[in-house]
Amino acid sequence: MLPVLKSLSKIKVLLLENIAPSAIDTLKSYGINKITQHKGSYSNKELKIIIKDYHVLGIRSRTHLSGEVLNAANKFSTIGCFCIGTNQVDLVAARELGVPVFNAPYSNTRSVAELAICHIISLFRQISVKHLAILAGVWDKSANGCYEIRGKTLGIVGYGHIGKQLGAIAESLGMNVFYYDTLRQLSLGNAKALKSLKELLKISDVVSLHVPDNDSTKNMITRQELAIMKKGSYLINLSRGSVVSIDDLSLALESKHIAGAALDVFPAEPDSKEISFDCLLNNTPNVILTPHIAGSTEEAQVDIGQDVANKLANFLMSGSTIDAVNFARLNVPPIKNCMRFIHIHKNMPGMLTKINDVFSSLKVNILGQYLQTHDDIGYGVIDADVKSNSSRLAIKEALRSIKHTVRSYSIY
């Protein structure tokens, strides 16, 4: 365990939107104790006043951080998005202000993979059909159209974090696993890579989509792709709503070419439960619809809390930005027998020389130096042999006075 840094004890953290207690426990384990919590979110107007007091802000998906809000903060150091996405933050504005943003993109991987397994079994066993029948008072014990998943072929589109876990679990349940990914991936277990989406669609008894939302995946599954899928096969989409054409899927289900589908994501999703949701597939048999909950489990929340808090603490303790989503990525070692200076500046020629001049003019020995750039911002981390507080303050002031400096501070 490294000694608690003096600069950490000054850090003030504001956590909004009922962030999991695991985040607070984690921050405290690093000696970050000045933590204020607020159950809800704040309006932009309120935030502009409130965040002036804090160095760190933790949010989930309901708090929108515009450039205007971020510009109102004067001692802001970093933002933690205790969720998967970071669309709610103006990432460019944050970078230009020298503020790295962290999130937890993979904390709910297992939760999504498990729901996919649940959907595969439910579709093969017609669970939604049986459930609706029994609610209507019909005791339908028929085995018609109900199958085991053992020995069936699962086609995974997007063999990333979720796709790989799903494949491994499905294989342990006796399924044959194939996948298609635009990147070369290492197969887990006996999973086999196929060269094209078409090949995968042709052979799969169930296709499960786990791709990101990008130009290549927009409307990836339309009438043409559904027609290539095996007659009587199933489709699962727990990835993004833009990937599947709901109109075309509805027609394929009506014609019974596709025997069932499970969707957790939709092209347009309501912002809150007060807004009603209508989907073309609301009344289609053997269709399971869920409100974007594939990753929503208690375990995922705990993991998100720990993951983001660890990333924030790592940044605050060492200046490491390796996990930031909007910033020059630097993986720096823990501070040892030195003081560390952070210098965030406009990415321009000659900045490193000016930084070094500060140390040489003050006759201070540099022990280590790291620099990385991202678009318009340069990020420098300098370890120096500084023993006194007065020397630390002199260096900090001199670094801050360099032209084109965005922010500069010390960790000690």
186 is a contact residue toward ligand NAI (CB under 6 A): no
Least spacing, CB of residue 295 vs ligand NAI, in Å? 3
From first CA to last CA, the distance across the chain in angstroms is: 16
Residue selected from 22, 217, 314, 321 as contacting ligand NAI according to rule CB under 6 A: 217
Active site residue 292: yes
Give whichever of 232 and 291 is closer to ligand NAI, judged by the CB atom: 291
Determine if 211 is a binding residue for ligand NAI (CB under 6 A).
yes
Q: How far is the CB of 200 from ligand NAI (least distance, A)?
A: 9
Name the strand (E) or helix (H) holding 342. strand 339-346
Please say which residue, 34 or 292, places its beta carbon nearer to ligand NAI: 292
Q: Which of 257, 292, 329, 407 is catalytic?
A: 292
Q: How far is the CB of 181 from ligand NAI (least distance, A)?
A: 4
3 state DSSP class of 21:
helix
Q: Binding to ligand NAI (CB under 6 A): which residues in 7-26?
A: none
Tell me whether residue 109 or residue 320 sits nearer to ligand NAI (CB atom): 109
Question: 143 in helix, strand or coil?
Answer: coil
d(CA 313, CA 59): 16
Choose, by CB under 6 A, the member of 265, 335, 344, 381 that binds ligand NAI: 265
Does position 291 bind ligand NAI by CB under 6 A?
no
Nearest CA-CA partner of 239 in 212, 260, 274: 212
Could you say whether residue 264 binds ligand NAI (CB under 6 A)?
yes
Give counts: helices (H), strands (E), the chain: 13, 16
Binding mask 142-171 for ligand NAI (x = CB under 6 A): ---------------xxxxxxx--------
Catalytic residue among 119, 240, 343, 345: 240
Q: Name the nearest CA neighbour of 123 among 202, 192, 190, 208.
A: 208
Vertex 375: Cα angle to 372 and 381 (nearest 5): 25
Residues 120, 237 contacting (CB under 8 angstroms):
no
DSSP designation for 9:
G
Give all strands (DSSP E) within 232-301, no chain letters.
233-237, 258-263, 287-289
Residue 54 engages ligand NAI in binding (rule: CB under 6 A): no
Return the SS3 of 345. Answer: strand
Both tokens of residue 389? 């507080």
- Tell me the one-letter amino acid at 226: L
Q: Which stretch binds ligand NAI (CB under 6 A): 245-253, 291-299, 320-328, 359-367?
A: 291-299
268 membership: H or E segment, kind and range: none
* 181 lies in the site for ligand NAI, by CB under 6 A: yes
Residue 192 β-bridge partners: 178
Contact map string, positions 112 to 141, toward ligand NAI, x by CB under 6 A: x-----------------------------
Pairing between β-strand 339-346 and β-strand 377-384 as defined by DSSP bridges: antiparallel
Residue placing its CB nearer to ligand NAI in the complex, 112 or 154:
112
Q: Report in angstroms how near the CB of residue 134 gets to ligand NAI at its nearest.
A: 28
Please tell me whether residue 213 binds ligand NAI under the rule CB under 6 A: yes
Query: C-beta of 370: minimal distance to ligand NAI in Å?
Result: 27
Lookup result for tokens 């909004």: 16
- 3-state per-residue secondary structure call for 51-70: HHHCCEEEECCCCCECHHHH
Does 269 qualify as catalytic in the annotation? yes
Q: Which residue is nearest to ligand NAI (CB)?
A: 160
Please list, residue by residue across 310-331, b when 16 or more beta carbons sit within 10 angstroms of its beta carbon and e when fewer do. bbbbbbbbbbbbbbbbbbbebe
Query: Contact between 212 and ligand NAI (CB under 6 A)?
Result: yes
Interface residues for ligand NAI in 87-106 (CB under 6 A)? 106
- The yes or no reply on residue 301 touching ligand NAI (CB under 6 A) is no
Which residues make up the interface to ligand NAI (CB under 6 A)?
84, 106, 108-109, 112, 157-163, 180-183, 210-213, 216-217, 238-240, 264-265, 292, 294-295
Catalytic residues: 240, 269, 292
